């Protein structure tokens, strides 16, 4: 009996330990089950919040962003937390395994489209283009070989043009001696005497230089009455607003995915996106606030007409540089230019002015040819970057009385208006370009229902939250990141 008593005590003690262990395990299972349930509810809520992406932004621009105004007047990033809390608690109510609720959600970090100079927006655009096109296909499609380098010749040539004009403007008029006749009172007859007179310097390029100061659209478009008259209030859009909502920048690091791309190739992706999603002269986007949207990216003006004028002005500069470079290399045309300059300098008794007049005439001729080039581009033709004699369409005499003519020639060789716009976008600063792109996005999205106050700086593509649950086990805390 004594032995049995010892066994009973031992068994009782063992059962107590086992029961304690079992209860501890049971409590752990319960706590972990509650934690798992809360974690699943939170993740479901987080992804549900991402599912509230703005559908118009996706439809028009293939971008995934949450509009944190949710159709209201002002965006508020903290609203995302309220939506997550609502979703999570609804999920927990439906499971009914344990009593639990999400008591607190705080937004710790957020990716806003305008963060880092528009880098957040740019990353989504590049992701989209990587999946839509390959880099080789883009280069072939837009034929940008040589165009992106074209701007490098402008600075040197225009510096020479401007220095020549400045030097010509300060030249003193030549003086010549002329014979005149006057009455001599002493002799009572007429006498011949000599007098020195200034000879005006007549620059054959003067007419063209005056044209540079005037509006150019009348010279480039057959009927300006057909141009779009749409206009916007610039102060309402992101690049002109005084204060912007700011996030904390990119949450997920994607640099590794783009490490093979040089900056120029990223710009190719960005430009490709522009021409897929934005309208421009001759290829206007339907129901858009502005018709000439790519031109807005280049001009940044409030009206379509002003933006087309700004883009055309940049095209003229690009073409003038290329045409001047051609004239410098064409011996026959240089001979024509030299002959005109020599005749003018001979008439003015100032042979020393001939080199200055030659340069002035050369750039005037290049400008007249450039007007014809841009007119042809706007009419749907093509213009080669570097011309041959067969591509040249104007004669030297046209600089004396040019008033604008029809864009003659077939224009079947070279680059299109779209491709020249592509080249001009390469010269734009990336941050300014991205914010101008967001201007246009705001313009277009605001024309749709329930988006009257849409703002790109209220659009979020990712967020990090801190969440605190209340439950029977003492509550759980989580730090979670969600992004597209």
Residue 287 is given by DSSP the state T
The SS3 assignment for 127 reads helix
Average pLDDT over residues 422-441: 94
Average pLDDT over residues 184-196: 73
CB 84 within 8 A of CB 42: yes
DSSP bridge partners of 180? 193
CB 374 within 8 A of CB 312: yes
Cα→Cα distances 71→47, 328, 450, 456, 460, Å: 20, 60, 5, 13, 14
DSSP bridge partners of 145? none
269-289 residue pLDDT tens: 999 999 999 999 999 999 999
Q: What's the pLDDT score for residue 183?
A: 74
Q: What's the pLDDT score for residue 149?
A: 56
Q: In angstroms, how far apart are the furthest CA atoms of the chain? A: 176
Can you tell me the distance from the alpha carbon of 480 to that of 108, in angstroms, rounded to the nearest whole number? Answer: 10
Q: What's the pLDDT score for residue 371?
A: 95
Cα→Cα distances 180→86, 183, 187, 199, 481, Å: 102, 10, 17, 16, 95
Tokens 């807005």 found at: 296
Q: At what angle do helices 152-169 and 304-329 cross, to 10 degrees?
A: 80
Q: What's the pLDDT score for residue 86?
A: 95
Of 458, 456, 460, nearest to 238 by C-alpha is 456
Q: What's the pLDDT score for residue 99?
A: 82
What is the model's pTM? 0.84
Instruction: Check residues 257 and 306 and name the one with the higher pLDDT.
Output: 306
Read out DSSP for 156-198? HHHHHHHHHHHHHHTPPPPEEEEEEEEEETTTTEEEEEEEEEE
Tokens 């030097």 found at: 167
Of 433, 437, 413, nearest to 424 by C-alpha is 433
Helix residue ranges per DSSP H, 96-174: 115-132, 135-142, 152-169
Can you tell me the distance from the alpha carbon of 271 to that of 466, in angstroms, rounded to the nearest whole number? Answer: 38
Tell me which H or E stretch contains 225.
Answer: none
Q: What's the pLDDT score for residue 142?
A: 53
CA atoms within 13 A on the CB side of 233: 4
The SS3 assignment for 105 reads strand
Tell me which H or E stretch contains 381.
Answer: none
Q: What's the pLDDT score for residue 200?
A: 76
Of 237, 25, 272, 255, nearest to 125 by C-alpha is 272
Band the pLDDT of 45: cuts 50, 70, 90.
Answer: very high
Band the pLDDT of 256: cuts 50, 70, 90.
Answer: very low
In degrees rounded to 5, what are phi and psi of residue 106? -125, 135
Lowest mean pLDDT across 82-96, 418-432, 450-464: 82-96
58-86 residue pLDDT tens: 999 999 999 999 988 899 999 999 999 99
């Amino acid at each position: 009996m004594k032995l049995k008593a010892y066994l009973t005590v031992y068994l009782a003690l063992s059962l107590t330990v086992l029961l304690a262990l079992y209860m501890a395990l049971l409590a752990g299972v319960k706590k972990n089950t509650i934690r798992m349930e809360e974690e699943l509810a939170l993740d479901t809520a987080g992804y549900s919040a991402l599912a509230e992406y703005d559908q118009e932004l996706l439809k028009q621009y293939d971008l995934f962003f949450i509009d944190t105004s949710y159709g209201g007047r002002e965006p508020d990033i903290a609203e995302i937390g309220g939506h997550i809390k609502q979703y999570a608690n609804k999920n927990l109510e439906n499971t009914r395994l344990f009593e639990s609720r999400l008591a607190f959600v705080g937004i710790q970090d957020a990716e806003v489209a305008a963060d880092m100079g528009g880098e957040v927006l740019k990353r989504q655009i590049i992701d989209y283009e990587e999946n839509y096109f390959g880099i080789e296909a883009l280069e072939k499609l837009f034929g940008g070989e040589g165009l992106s380098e074209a701007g490098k010749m402008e600075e040197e040539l225009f510096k020479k043009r401007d220095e020549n004009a400045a030097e010509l403007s300060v030249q003193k008029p030549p003086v010549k001696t002329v014979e005149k006749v006057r009455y001599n009172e002493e002799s009572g007859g007429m006498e011949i005497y000599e007098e020195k007179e200034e000879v005006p310097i007549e620059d054959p390029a003067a007419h063209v230089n005056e044209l540079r100061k005037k509006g150019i659209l009348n010279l480039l478009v057959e009927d300006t009455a057909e141009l779009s008259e749409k206009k916007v209030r610039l102060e309402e859009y992101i690049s002109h607003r005084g204060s912007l909502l700011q996030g904390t920048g990119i949450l997920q690091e994607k640099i590794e995915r783009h490490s093979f791309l040089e900056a120029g190739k990223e710009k190719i992706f960005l430009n490709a996106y522009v021409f897929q999603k934005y309208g421009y002269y001759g290829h206007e986007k339907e129901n858009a606030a502005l018709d000439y949207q790519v031109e807005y990216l280049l001009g940044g003006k409030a009206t379509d007409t002003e933006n087309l004028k700004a883009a055309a002005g940049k095209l003229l500069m690009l073409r003038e540089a290329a045409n001047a470079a051609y004239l410098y290399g064409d011996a026959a045309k240089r001979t024509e230019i030299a002959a005109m300059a020599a005749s003018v300098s001979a008439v003015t008794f100032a042979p020393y002015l001939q080199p200055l007049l030659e340069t002035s005439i050369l750039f005037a001729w290049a400008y007249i040819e450039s007007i014809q080039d841009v007119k042809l581009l706007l009419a749907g033709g093509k213009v080669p970057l570097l011309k041959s004699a067969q591509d040249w369409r104007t004669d030297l005499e046209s600089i004396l009385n040019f008033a604008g003519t029809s864009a003659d020639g077939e224009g079947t060789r070279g680059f299109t208006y779209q491709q020249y716009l592509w080249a001009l976008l390469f010269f734009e600063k990336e941050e300014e370009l991205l914010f101008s792109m967001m201007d246009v996005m705001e313009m277009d999205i605001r024309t749709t229902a329930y988006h009257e106050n849409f703002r790109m700086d209220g659009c979020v593509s990712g967020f990090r939250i801190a969440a605190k649950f209340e439950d029977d086990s003492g509550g759980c805390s989580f730090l979670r990141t969600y992004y597209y």
